[in-house]
Chain A
Amino acid sequence: MTTSPTQYAHPEALVEADWMEKHLNDEGVRIIESNEDILLYDTGHIPGAVHIDWRSDLQDQVIRDYISPDKFSELCSRNGITPETTCVFYGDKANWWACYALWAFRLYGHEKVKILNGGRDKWKADGRPMTREVPKYPATNYPVPKKRFDKEIRAFADEALAQSKASKPLIDVRSPGEFKGEITHMAEYPQEGVLRGGHIPGAKSMPWKTATNDDSTFKPAADLAKIYFDQCGLKPGTDTVVYCRIGERSSHTWFVLTYLLGLENVRNYDGSWTEWGNKVGAPIEKGV
């Protein structure tokens, strides 16, 4: 049993809507919307927010990987972002893609990152201001990151396998049906060509949604501690790998573990089930 925390480990990484409204015109803040629905930003967004798409902006367009450091520099520069800019991410689907974009920014070492609690849906439901006006910021000269922090916050298939063999914590954040191998994708999502269902041997099932309230905000620190420390058995200092289907839901859990609970060695296996379930010879467990 771990002592129940009374507040998030890094409360500065999560902002509420009132804070956001007060910083809409803050030159040191860039609001970034990242969605699953590719045209959602165009239908209206938080005033001053720029749009970064997980696929066309953050991913390499040829191989399955993220953009190169020089492309990241270009992306930030054209959105008026400097290394000192505080980037506040928000989006649809309870901030899945916002957390994914935040995690990708961390891959390139951008440190000043925050999530808007509740994301786009809560902002809109609360009647906060929205606009269709696309902002234009003076281009900056974001230096090309010298390294990508893959080793620190990203896991690859061989590392997930090593984690499994060493019986170290692996958290599968997909739905219970996906974990059991009954389905290979979320119920309402297209099948994206995974040949096998199940989970990585030794992985514990803790769906991403367990960490959120009905309005998509994050649960209090004490509740999160019960879920991840008591139920999943995670401990500070222990290597933890999280995964889902393509890395977006696990980015959400990665944010919870890293920023809200303060675990230091959490890596997101973004290849996730679309890689593992197709990988020849990869060990798989089915059922509970």
Chain B
Amino acid sequence: MSPEAYRVRGPSAVGGDVRRFWNLARTLAATDWKVRFYGSALGYVWSLLRPLMLFGIIYFVFSYVLDAGAGVAHYGVLLLLAIILYFFFSEVTGSGVTSMVDRESLLRKVGFPRAVVPLSVALVAAMNLALNLVVLAIFVVASGVQPRWTWLLLPIPIALMLVFATGVAMLLSALYVRYRDVRPIWDVVLQALFYATPILYPIEIVLARYETLAKIQLLNPLAAIIQESRHLLTGAPSPAAVLDSTALLAVPLGILVGVTWLGFRVFDRMAPRAAEEL
């Protein structure tokens, strides 16, 4: 019995074989993960210990030294949650930009669905995110936040963040293959996003002084996701409450879907020629 003949269609973004796609993304992510702690005595322990110490410092400085919380309940924990989510976004998109170029040798030597590359970057960041959330749980318990049933809904904004970050990473990595200026531009954009998003400061402060500004801020999907997570964690004002309208939530959601779709489209168009243009 001879095996089925099939047509060679050249490289694509996703390709037909879902299992192979997943196997490759998983293997590349695991490799990156291993290399990250290569040569350190404590190895993986660092992936928990480092955020623990880092968050301890941030928590201490902002809650006690700077007292930036302005009386918002559990400000320290909310700060850490926002920082963790922002770190994730910045890791996926920041290493995503150069991911295709970094994997050049692989792309030029093996035919595989090209989207594996940005996706593996997102997977590594997701592992990091998971560990950071474990560390966050320690702070949540230690600072005495009352358990709420809304915690069960936290995976939703986190999943949205995953999708959004991956979409942006696909867009940037595809553009970077042709235009190397994308990286410095994105570095600046990431910095701007950090301050434009209620991370270091609670949205309540902005809301009290410039209500319109607070509303505009929350049209940014990154801010909306972070604020929604804060809301689910401690009952801080939800994006819908700040915007004073549930319907307006369609704007950040629309941007999220639009950018993700655009990222996929641009990547899909670039994928067949990635190997020759690198």
Decide if A and B are genuine partners: no
Task: List chain B positions with a Cβ less than 8 A from chain A.
Answer: none
A residues lining the B interface (CB < 8 Å): none
